């Protein structure tokens, strides 16, 4: 039977944990490296419904860490601790691949496989592509590719020469953006004002919509694991976890 440390080593090889951001909490969040597993489940996030559906003793691989900041108490009165209690009861292990996976796989896959852009990674997180198209056409491309009817945007120029893309919440990386248009999620009012001063157009692709393909990407990668025939690997549908979009 395979141990969690075997899966950890495989992931660490294709997406090294030592390149995660200093503020991140990727890695084995719950469980033991020596735990033996037969079932692996992959999901963007964790919620009570998901935990209830998992068999005892399984491994859950997620993108977002259940425990993100340090816990000073475990009183079962917030998102992390309530779910933590149920996970421990069922002897479920949780392995997270977050900012390291953004850098090695997720941002590139989102741009090339979902948005059909062609470019390269820069500055760790940022994917950059030459497009030379009208801004309105770029908005339509995002809308069509992601299936979003209403797209939030800031238009600073009519033409986009180079687009920069960061999945999730990327406005803290505005200083790293060299394109004249920036696609990311969770754009706030003051972020938009800063971008406007710099002449950088913005398109809000949404945090969830830019990362919801995480499960599919990991599922495909695990097919290359040399012991995959001894595991039951399930890609979970994250749509049930985060399904509300607000524009």
Question: Among residues of the chain, what percentage have pLDDT more than 70?
Answer: 96
Is 223 inside a domain boundary? yes
70 shares a domain with 29: yes
Question: According to the model, what pLDDT value does residue 243 have?
Answer: 31
- Tens digits of residue pLDDT in 64-107: 999 988 788 888 888 888 899 999 999 999 999 999 999 999 99
Rounded mean pLDDT of 33-37? Answer: 95
Rounded mean pLDDT of 27-42? Answer: 94
106 shares a domain with 93: no
Is 160 inside a domain boundary? yes
231 shares a domain with 182: no
**174, pLDDT greater than 90:** yes
What is the Cβ-side half-sphere exposure of residue 11, based on CA atoms within 13 angstroms? 24
Residues 6 or more apart in contact with residue 86 via CB below 8 angstroms: 48, 51, 52
Q: What is the DSSP string of 174-206?
A: GGG--SSEEEEE---HHHHHHHHHHT-EEEE--
Contact by Cβ (8 Å): 141, 115: yes
Q: In this structure, what token pair is assigned to residue 94?
A: 């949780």
**115, pLDDT greater than 80:** yes
Is 121 inside a domain boundary? yes
146 shares a domain with 73: no
Is 221 inside a domain boundary? yes
Q: In this structure, what token pair is assigned to residue 233?
A: 């690997």
Please tell me the total count of domains within the chain. 2
Is 247 inside a domain boundary? no
**Pair type for strands 126-134 and 2-3:** unpaired
149 shares a domain with 72: no
130 shares a domain with 65: no
Q: In this structure, what token pair is assigned to residue 24?
A: 């991140």
106 shares a domain with 90: no
Is 240 inside a domain boundary? no
114 shares a domain with 74: no
186 shares a domain with 108: yes
Sign of CA dihedral 49, 233, 65, 211: negative
54 shares a domain with 148: no
Question: According to the model, what pLDDT value does residue 10 have?
Answer: 95
Lowest mean pLDDT across 60-64, 72-76, 147-151? 72-76
How far is residue 163's CA from residue 160's CA, in Å, rounded to a whole number?
7
Q: Which domain holds residue 164?
A: 101-204
Is 67 inside a domain boundary? yes
Q: How confident is the model at residue 237 (pLDDT cuts 50, 70, 90)?
A: low
Which has more confidence, 85 or 246? 85
109 shares a domain with 49: no
**142, pLDDT greater than 50:** yes
Is 65 inside a domain boundary? yes
Residue with tokens 């660490």: 12
Rounded mean pLDDT of 151-172? Answer: 96
**1, pLDDT greater than 90:** no
Rounded mean pLDDT of 116-142? Answer: 96
Mean of per-residue pLDDT scores for the chain? 91
Question: According to the model, what pLDDT value does residue 242 have?
Answer: 36
157 shares a domain with 124: yes
- Tens digits of residue pLDDT in 37-54: 988 999 999 988 899 999
Q: Residue 194 belongs to a domain with what CATH number?
A: 3.40.1390.30
- Tens digits of residue pLDDT in 204-230: 999 999 999 999 999 889 888 877 777
Residue 24, SS3 per DSSP: coil
């Amino acid at each position: 039977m395979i141990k969690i440390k075997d899966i950890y080593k495989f992931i660490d090889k294709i997406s090294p944990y030592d390149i995660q951001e200093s503020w991140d909490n990727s890695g084995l969040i719950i469980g033991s490296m020596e735990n033996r597993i037969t079932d692996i489940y992959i999901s963007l996030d964790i919620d009570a419904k998901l935990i209830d559906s998992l068999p005892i003793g399984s491994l859950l691989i997620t993108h977002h860490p259940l425990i993100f900041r340090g816990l000073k108490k475990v009183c079962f009165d917030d998102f992390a601790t309530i779910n933590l209690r149920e996970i421990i009861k069922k002897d479920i292990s949780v392995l997270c691949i977050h900012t390291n996976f953004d850098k090695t796989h997720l941002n590139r896959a989102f741009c090339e496989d979902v948005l059909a852009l062609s470019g390269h990674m820069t500055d760790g997180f940022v994917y950059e592509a030459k497009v030379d198209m009208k801004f309105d056409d770029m908005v339509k491309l995002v809308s069509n590719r992601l299936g979003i009817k209403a797209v939030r945007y800031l238009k600073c120029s009519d033409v986009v020469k180079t687009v920069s893309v960061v999945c999730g919440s990327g406005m803290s990386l505005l200083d790293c953006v060299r394109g004249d248009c920036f696609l990311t999620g969770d754009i706030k009012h003051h972020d938009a004002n800063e971008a406007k001063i710099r002449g950088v157009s913005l398109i809000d692709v949404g945090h969830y919509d830019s990362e919801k393909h995480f499960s599919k990407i990991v599922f495909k990668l695990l097919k290359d694991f040399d012991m995959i025939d001894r595991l039951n690997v399930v890609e979970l549908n994250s749509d049930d976890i985060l399904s509300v979009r607000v524009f």
